Amino acid sequence: MHRAVIGLLGAIGVGLAAPAAADEGGARWHVGGSAGVMLFDDARDLTTEDVAAAPGTSGLLGVHARLTPPWLLVELEATVGWLLGTFDDDSGLQALTGRFEVHYALLDGGVRPFVALGPTLTVAFTEDYGTDADVGVAAGGGVVFDVAAGWGVRLDARWMLADGVAGAADDLAFTAGVDYAL
C-alpha cells in the first residue's frame, strides 16, 4: 500500500514541478566581473628567513559564470581571479585563484542574498620567493541587487581555508562587481 501512495505522491510532485520548470524557460546563465581585495594570512609565507613574514594584501580582479538550472535548488558558479600585490619588503606578488561553488539563495526577488561553498585553488607567483600552490575550501556569501533588466550589482565575501606553506592558511576576499543574466 505504501508503494502505491509514495508512487502517487511522486507522480503528483512531478506533475506540479514540470509546469513550473517549463515557465522558467530552462537554465539561466549569469556572467560578470568584480574587483576587490584579498587578505593573505601568515601561513601563506612565501618569503625567506631574511624577510619577516607578514600577511599580504592584494588587489583582486575576477570574472564569474553562474548556471541556474530550474530543476535544481542551488546555483553552480565558477570564478577565476587575478591577484596583484606586494609584501612588506616591496617584492611583488601575482596569483591566479579559482573557485567552483554551489550557491543557495536565501531570498528571491530584487535583492538576493546567498550563501556559497566550494573548493578553491590559489597559485601564487612572487618575484623573489618562488611559487606556492594551495588547494582549499571557500565559504561565504553575498548579495545581488537588481538595478535594471538583467543587470545586478553584487557584493561578496569569502573565507578560504587552504593548505599554506606554514600550516593552514586563512585568507579573506571581499569583492564588488556586476552580474548580467543572459
Alpha-carbon Rg of the chain, whole angstroms?
21
Least confident of 34-48, 88-102, 162-176: 34-48
Q: Comparing C-alpha atoms, which of 63, 157, 81 is closest to residue 123?
A: 81
Least confident of 12-26, 32-46, 121-135, 143-157: 12-26
Looking at residues 53-76, what average pLDDT do you find?
A: 80
Structure confidence by residue, pLDDT tens digits, 153-162:
999 999 988 8
CA separation for the pair 173, 38 (Å, rounded):
4
- Classify domain 26-181 by CATH architecture: Beta Barrel (2.40)
Which residue would you say has higher pLDDT here, 43 or 178?
Answer: 178
Domain range annotation of the chain: 26-181
Which residue would you say has higher pLDDT here, 24 or 110?
Answer: 110
CB distance 52 to 35 below 8 Å: no
In the chain, the amino acid numbered 53 is A
H/E element holding 179? strand 167-181
Q: What is the pLDDT of residue 43?
A: 57
